[in-house]
Amino acid sequence: MNKNRSKEYDVIIIGGGATGAGTARDCAMRGLSVLLVERHDFATGATGRNHGLLHSGARYAVTDHESAAECIEENMILRKIANHCIEENNGLFLTLPEDDIAFQSQFVDACSSAGISTEIIDPKLALRMEPSANPDIIGAVKVPDGSVDPFRLTMSNALDAKLKGADILTQHEVVDILKDQDRVNGVELFDHEKKEKAKYYGKIVCNAAGIWGHNIARFAGVNINMFPAKGSLLIFGHRVNKMVLNRCRKPANADILVPGDTICLIGTTSERIPIEEIDNMYVSKDDVDVLIREGVKLSPSLATTRILRAYAGVRPLVAADDDPSGRSISRGIVLMDHKERDGLEGFITITGGKLMTYRLMAEEATDLICKKLDVDKKCETANIPLPGSEKSDETLNNVSQKVYSINGITQKSAKDRHGSLAHKIAQGDENEDSMVCECEGVSIGEVKYAINELHVNNLIDLRRRTRVGMGTCQGELCACRAAGLLCESMEEPGKAKDDLANFLQERWKGMSPIAWGETINEIQFTSWIYEGIYGLKPDNN
Amino acid sequence: MKFDNIIIGGGLSGLTCGIKLAEQGKKCAIVSSGQSAIHFFSGSFDLLGKANGEEVTNPLESMKSLPENHPYKRVGLDKIERLTNDALHLLVRSGLNLNGQADRNHYTLTPMGVMKPTWLTLSDFTSFDQKDSFPWKKAVILNFSGFLDFHTLFIKDGLKKFDVHAQIKTVSMKQFDAIRKNPSEMRSTNIAKEFDKENAIEEFAQKANVLSDGFDVVILPAVFGLFNKTIADKLKEKIEKPVLLLPAIPPSVPGIRTQITLRERFQELGGTYLLGDNVEEGVFENGRLLEIRTNNHGDIKFEADQFILASGSFYSKGIVATHDKLYEPIFGLDIDGDSNREKWFDEKIFNDQAFMHYGVKTDQKFRALMNGEPVENLYVAGSVLGGANPLKEGSGAGISLLTSLHAAEQILK
Amino acid sequence: MKKEIFEPYNVSDNNFEQCVKCTICTVYCPVLEVNPDYPGPKQSGPDGERMRLKDPEFYDEALKLCLNCKRCEVACPSGVKIGDIIQSARIKYSKSKPKLRDMILANTDIVGTMASTFAPIVNTAVALKPVRKVMDSVLKIDHHRMFPKYTGLRFETWYRRYAEKKQQEFKKHVSYFHGCYVNYNFPQQGKDLIKVMNAAGYGVHLLEKEKCCGVALISNGLIKQATKQAKHNVEAFKKSIVDKKMPVISTSSTCIFTIRDEYPHLLGVKNEEIRNDSELATRFLFRLIDEGKLNLVFKKNYKKRIAYHTPCHMEKLGWSIYSTSLLKMIPGVELVQLESQCCGIAGTYGFKKENYQTSQEVGKPLFDQIENSKVDFVATDCETCKWQIEMSTSSKVQHPISILAEAIDVESTMKLWQK
């Protein structure tokens, strides 16, 4: 981390979600000097708390033509530039007996006018393609949906920004926006690690903080009408489906089942919540019950599949400026030049939109930044692959297929997670190959790589980089091992114990709403180990 | 097949009960659905470590302040002291070497480097009289290279509070090359299997002696003596400095040895230990359990005069939770617990979780309740009983040992 | 109360998800201890299954190192069918083709038919060092292995010639699934079974053309053939059990385990109609005695110190209690129960050159126990355990039924029910 407080950046970007990281990358690629700041870690807001669906746009085709067209365009771009973050598994829009089959033709028409290819599939064939689908379906349409790993996507953007000279500060929270009369010229940050404040200066401050941008704007003295919409999701213990399953009807609760890495997830519910609740969202009993009830309609086997976690994300909805009530909500991309809107120079806000359009949002924001800075450079983010998505390394492919290769699981997993950057993970001897996380096949080498190169401050960050603790046991075996390794690299054992306790608390937050069956057995066991045998307490220092 | 007594559950309660009954000449069978939670044994049997949030020094005294429905209170405080003696003697007769007393907790060092109060500690481990002092000034913490389940830095950090200068060193031994090559199997039990073969212990002790030069104590993970019961003692003989063993991530090597020791004692007394079998249903008549049917034995049912349910808590599936209910999966016994799942949990993991208190309902004599009525000859013992949070109290082993001895006594009356 | 009463709802019936990662299975895996190339039951089973569901490329051919001893399942406190998960994965994902050697070892009845026809030649030939060297280098069948001798007179032939007629004299009847070993290698065990059952008042009949249970085919990846044979056997069992109301008994713990517990979930061959009435002879006899329907009278001069070894599949079935209970009934028997450990042979596994060393290392603790037990001989219910123990220790091995056959006073026993 290259902290240069005296330097004046061209642009300071607030928010380490996909949009912020994407904007940082775009700005850096156009030769700007960039500081990206994030109060926690990458992808901790809405970016990391959604379906991980690589939308084809089909879901919006009937209701929102513009979003649909944006999605399919970005979908095709991501396949090119982010292949290690996505899976091209296609999707099915299923019509159940309770749905109106007439909607299907309307849907297909809308898709084709938005440029989304569709194929109507005989239900029997659809069931062969996707055996987990509800056998009662009366209609099926194939669309180019897929899965995207938002953590990897965001990290790759941040990594590329860094490679191109951007400075990145995580665990740095904006506590004030610095102004010189009618001009924003920097930010004041609170460093959560060192517990100290510092000022950073930039010509432009870009607010890409998602729903938290509401508060950022207030620091700058401007008002944005944001309405947080909470969406809850459930993660199931393994992959039930290979293709994305959607309900072929107007968007409603729990009508998308997405396979992603080792798991699959169903979502979402949608509920407007007060802005005060955005930092403390719990998934209610009713949310869980709705998700299961509706999810089972898409894939009946979900009824008997273990649920690993429940979580909720919050989508930043922005009300039109002339409508403070929030009735007319835009779901599209919102780019605000506060000079034009509020007479405040040097400050822009990029918000709304969705994970799928993060790159487009970044492009639009960067275009505006460049215009303001009078820089004339074209956007290249749609053409140049992200780090990790360059042509994949053949030798890694070979290794994973080698018969009797007992390290196959960790090596193949590493390749899935880091793409061509997997070559940076040391391997080949037992000091690096041993597994830290047995559920997800994370090796010591991978953990060390993440700690050294991927901005890991704590165990929770490490989880987002490597999937440590994201498996069936939710950290029961691996948390302590990973804590040990992290502790070695940071040489602050006391802090590492707190970190371990925080990690278990964070895992529990997702487990408690669904803690029955094996989950309650597992958590009892985990508590016995950590609290009973190890004597771990919430505050160890 | 006819037995005098059948015990469902082969963990600490089941085995204690079985040994007690078999010692009195009863023909007993234990049905265990798999290896038990003794496999995660820390090395110490707790009686009462905390009561009402306060750390306990005299468990027998502090028990008076426990709530009325606590298993200890239901056993009767007048009997507890005698039962603690009985339990100790039963364990010693079975071949376990233990230190500790019921009226005064001692302390053991946890792998987080903190002192924890406890009742009886296996002689493998070190018992401390004081919680705020450590008898040595300079400690060397030895780990095996590649062993991820022993957290030396945490121990070192914990020892700082005692003003102990600790240094971490690593030992490499070619005996572990094979398991280290396997990315998931450098586990404490696999290390212990190498030491079980005896030839590794000499070499290790020599290395440890060199590395511990200038230190007062050698701290090691408890990976000695899985199936071989003499290795832990041999290690201590061969290492010149005092040896302090600390638990590693489970399964626990001394725990498995403890399980085997108790199981062998039970079998030597003529007991039948059926591992890997599940009791599927019971046949009841006039408020009595006549016989049980198991998965392996099908139509050959097991009859007994008395039965003991010692099937454990959620982890062991003694009770099962679904999204809308709690139930006892073998007989459908009454459960002491809230049926609304929102009441089961606290959102903070380190808080007292309600579900930890749940268990099977019994009458005053620890006979299981079924539809509100006691089953005349079905006793309940161990962690399948509700009424306490053994994790918060540090009372799990005590409840298992004492309630099962209590149940055995009722049967022997 | 039965478990079915409670409707499961998000309590996983995807069995591998019941794993709470306690890692106990790894403690009891006999292979892991001696062969670090094996990923272990936890990684191969529930952990690996989850990865394979993500991408079949995660399948690891090292899973074939699993002995299918099921000791992981017996140990698992959470009811995970670890061994089944591993075997199913092999069936579903393995791309490696069975070798000629594997086909030879697996086709116990075809090879047995040929070998027993030419028994003297085959026995001499496979006993010859040069032949064993060829088998070692060409077929990769380890040269240390003594092949079980093939008999000149197959059990089925003997039965038709000498025993069949007499069976009609009894009022009660059972069918006998003798298995390949009795038929081709050791007819005496079948003869002993008939002696004991006749003494107990039962006529013994053969099934309509039994086929090899298929255990070796399954473990060598010849699933199509195994399925075909399983279907055939289930039909043959049905004719006895459903049509003639004759239960089927066997003296091979592995055959009966395969038929009862591996047919449905590994091969998808349904066996509900026959499962309950297919069992081991020792369990059948025990039940009769337990229910007071049979009394055995034993010879007074039978005095032996016997060690009982629990074969892996007996451990899984939980049925060694029947064999040991019967042996304990013999007044002159002093029974030593050996600590239950795998002998390492695991059917055809130990015959393969690449597994020989592993196989012997797995069995070593058991062999040491036997050598230290100072017994007259070892009793066990599994024929491959018998080969392994006889090859690796100084002890002879007998089947509990053969021991009964020797110890029972047949006439006195028969008189009890003839009255």
Domains along chain A? 8-46+151-225+320-373 (3.50.50.60), 85-148+228-314 (3.30.9.10), 394-533 (no CATH)
Question: Please, which chains are in contact with B (at least 3 CB pairs closer than 8 A)?
Answer: A, C
Is domain B2-97+257-412 classified as CATH 3.40.190.10? no
Tokens of A205: 């401050």
Closest Cβ opposite residue B112 in set A523, A535, A538: A535
Place of tokens 């496979």: C126
With a cut of 70, say whether residue B322 has pLDDT above it.
yes
The interface predicted TM-score of the complex, written ipTM, equals 0.96
CB contact under 8 A, C276 and B184: no
Query: Would you say the CATH fold of B106-249 matches that of B2-97+257-412?
Result: no
Strands (DSSP E) contained in A381-472 are 435-437, 442-443
- Closest residue, chain A, to B110 (C-alpha): A534
Closest Cβ opposite residue C39 in set B184, B278, B316: B184
Closest Cβ opposite residue B350 in set A409, A531, A533: A531
Chain B: nearest CA to C349, how far in angstroms?
Answer: 21
Interface test with C, best of A264, A304, A399 (most C CBs within 10 A): A304
Terminal-to-terminal C-alpha distance of chain B: 24
The confidence score (pLDDT) of residue A72 equals: 97
Minimal CA–CA distance to B24: which of B366, B263, B310, B269?
B269
CB contact under 8 A, C54 and A262: yes
With a cut of 90, say whether residue B183 has pLDDT above it.
no
Minimal CA–CA distance to C70: which of C87, C88, C83?
C83
Taking the CB of residue A274, how many other CB atoms lie within 10 A of it?
8
The confidence score (pLDDT) of residue A318 equals: 84
Minimal CA–CA distance to C157: which of C104, C98, C107, C116?
C116
Chain B: nearest CA to C36, how far in angstroms?
Answer: 6
DSSP A506: H
| Residue B206 forms contact with C (CB below 8 Å) | no
| Residue A518 forms contact with C (CB below 8 Å) | yes
**Residues A397, A423 contacting (CB under 8 angstroms):** no
Whole-angstrom distance, CA of residue A478 vs CA of residue A238: 18
Tokens of C61: 């051919």
Chain B residues lying within 8 Å of A483, measured CB to CB: 151, 154
Q: What is the 3-state secondary structure (H, E, C) of A234-264?
A: EEECCCCCCCEEEECCCCCCCCEEEEECCEE
What average pLDDT does range A250-261 have in this prediction?
92
Strands (DSSP E) contained in A164-306 are 167-169, 172-180, 183-191, 196-207, 226-236, 244-247, 256-260, 263-267, 271-272
Percent of chain B topping pLDDT 90: 95
Phi first, then psi: what are they for A348, rounded to 5°? Answer: -130, 155
DSSP A6-43: SSEEEEEEE--SHHHHHHHHHHHHTT--EEEE-SS-TT
How many residues comprise chain C?
419
Interface test with B, best of C28, C44, C321, C366 (most B CBs within 10 A): C321
> Which 468-507 residues of chain A touch chain C by CB within 8 A?
471-473, 476-477
H/E stretch holding B14: helix B12-23
Chain C: nearest CA to A83, how far in angstroms?
Answer: 16
Chain C residues lying within 8 Å of B27, measured CB to CB: none
- Closest residue, chain C, to B253 (C-alpha): C27
Q: List, for residues B351-382, the tens digit of each pLDDT value.
A: 999 999 999 999 999 999 999 999 999 999 99
Chain C: nearest CA to A129, how far in angstroms?
Answer: 15
Minimal CA–CA distance to C35: which of C352, C316, C266?
C352
Tokens of A253: 């609760």
**Residues A447, A431 contacting (CB under 8 angstroms):** no
* CA atoms in the 13 A half-sphere facing the CB of B132: 0
Chain C residues lying within 8 Å of B332, measured CB to CB: 1, 5
Whole-angstrom distance, CA of residue A11 vs CA of residue A485: 36
Phi first, then psi: what are they for A125, rounded to 5°? Answer: -65, -40
CB contact under 8 A, C61 and A404: yes
Closest Cβ opposite residue C17 in set A238, A303, A408: A238
CB contact under 8 A, A497 and B112: yes
Q: List, for residues B246-287, the tens digit of each pLDDT value.
A: 999 989 999 999 999 999 999 999 999 999 999 999 999 999
Residue type, C363: G
The confidence score (pLDDT) of residue B35 equals: 96
Packed helices B77-94 and B12-23: angle between N→C axes, nearest 10 degrees? 80
Burial state string for C340-367 with b = 16 or more CB within 10 A and e = fewer than 16: bbbbbbbbbbbbbbebbebbbebbebbb
**Residues B243, B211 contacting (CB under 8 angstroms):** no
- Closest residue, chain C, to B267 (C-alpha): C337
With a cut of 70, say whether residue A485 has pLDDT above it.
yes
Chain A residues lying within 8 Å of B313, measured CB to CB: 524
H/E stretch holding A352: strand A347-352
Minimal CA–CA distance to C174: which of C207, C208, C203?
C203
With a cut of 60, say whether residue A197 has pLDDT above it.
yes
| Residue B185 forms contact with C (CB below 8 Å) | yes
Chain A residues lying within 8 Å of C13, measured CB to CB: 304
How many residues comprise chain B?
413
Closest Cβ opposite residue B146 in set A434, A483, A533: A434
**Residues B327, B368 contacting (CB under 8 angstroms):** no
Interface test with C, best of B149, B175, B300 (most C CBs within 10 A): B300
pLDDT, one tens digit for every residue, chain C (419 residues)? 334 333 445 556 688 999 999 999 999 998 888 888 899 999 999 999 999 999 999 999 899 888 888 999 999 999 999 999 999 999 889 887 777 777 766 776 666 666 666 666 666 666 666 666 666 666 676 767 666 677 778 999 999 999 999 999 999 999 999 999 999 989 999 999 999 999 999 999 999 989 999 988 888 888 899 999 999 999 999 999 999 999 999 999 999 999 999 999 899 999 999 999 999 999 999 999 999 999 999 999 999 999 999 999 999 999 999 999 999 999 999 999 999 888 888 767 777 777 788 888 889 999 999 999 999 999 999 998 998 999 999 999 999 999 999 999 999 999 998 87
Closest Cβ opposite residue A524 in set B111, B116, B314: B314
DSSP C45-59: IIIHHHHHHH-GGG-
Phi first, then psi: what are they for A246, rounded to 5°? Answer: -125, 155
Using DSSP bridges, classify how beta strands B272-275 and B98-99 pair: parallel, antiparallel or unpaired: unpaired
Alpha-carbon distances of B170 from B187, B212, B236, rounded to whole Å: 16, 11, 19
Whole-angstrom distance, CA of residue A419 vs CA of residue C120: 62
Tokens of B50: 């905390």
- Grouping H, G, I as helix, E, B as strand and the rest as coil, residue C337 is strand
| Residue B189 forms contact with C (CB below 8 Å) | yes
Query: Which one of 1.10.3470, 2.40.10, 3.40.50, 3.30.450 gives the CATH number of domain B106-249?
Result: 3.40.50
Whole-angstrom distance, CA of residue A43 vs CA of residue A49: 8
Using DSSP bridges, classify how beta strands B279-285 and B288-294 pair: parallel, antiparallel or unpaired: antiparallel
Continuous H helices in A274-337: 285-298
Closest Cβ opposite residue C12 in set A305, A477, A525: A305
Chain B residues lying within 8 Å of A487, measured CB to CB: 151, 153-154
Question: Please, which chains are in contact with A (at least 3 CB pairs closer than 8 A)?
Answer: B, C
The confidence score (pLDDT) of residue C111 equals: 64
DSSP C49-115: HHHHHH-GGG--GGGGG-----HHHHH-TT---HHHHHHHHHHHH--PPPPHHHHHHH-HHHHHHHH
- Closest residue, chain C, to A292 (C-alpha): C10
Phi first, then psi: what are they for C134, rounded to 5°? Answer: -65, -45
User: pTM above 0.90?
Assistant: yes
Tokens of C147: 């092949």
Chain B residues lying within 8 Å of A515, measured CB to CB: 321, 341, 344-345, 355
> Facing residues of C166 across strands?
none
Using DSSP bridges, classify how beta strands B44-45 and B326-327 pair: parallel, antiparallel or unpaired: unpaired
Chain A residues lying within 8 Å of B249, measured CB to CB: 477, 480-481, 529
| Residue B178 forms contact with C (CB below 8 Å) | yes
Question: Please, which chains are in contact with C (at least 3 CB pairs closer than 8 A)?
Answer: A, B
Closest Cβ opposite residue A238 in set C23, C37, C53: C53
**Residues A305, C10 contacting (CB under 8 angstroms):** yes
CB contact under 8 A, B34 and C77: yes
| Residue B341 forms contact with C (CB below 8 Å) | no
Cα dihedral C385/C391/C393/C395 (nearest 10): 70
What average pLDDT does range B214-233 have in this prediction?
95
> Which 242-281 residues of chain B touch chain C by CB within 8 A?
250-251, 256, 267, 272, 274-278, 280-281
Chain A: nearest CA to C127, how far in angstroms?
Answer: 33
Taking the domains of chain B in order of start, what are their residue ranges? 2-97+257-412, 106-249
The confidence score (pLDDT) of residue A404 equals: 40
**Residues B190, B183 contacting (CB under 8 angstroms):** no
CB contact under 8 A, B315 and C36: no
Closest Cβ opposite residue A535 in set B116, B183, B347: B116
Tokens of A442: 């994370």
Whole-angstrom distance, CA of residue B119 vs CA of residue B58: 10
Tokens of A265: 């997830």
- Closest residue, chain C, to B29 (C-alpha): C321
Tokens of B369: 């309740």
- Predicted confidence band of residue A5 (pLDDT cuts 50, 70, 90): low
Place of tokens 């649920």: A307
Domains and CATH numbers, chain C: 3-93 (1.10.1060.10), 100-139 (no CATH), 155-292 (3.40.50), 304-407 (3.40.50.1860)
CB contact under 8 A, C19 and A401: no
Chain C: nearest CA to B69, how far in angstroms?
Answer: 27
Chain A residues lying within 8 Å of C21, measured CB to CB: 438-439, 472-473, 476-477, 522
Whole-angstrom distance, CA of residue A491 vs CA of residue C79: 41
The confidence score (pLDDT) of residue A430 equals: 75
Chain C residues lying within 8 Å of B272, measured CB to CB: 321
Whole-angstrom distance, CA of residue A380 vs CA of residue A377: 9
Whole-angstrom distance, CA of residue C84 vs CA of residue C186: 30
CB contact under 8 A, A477 and B249: yes
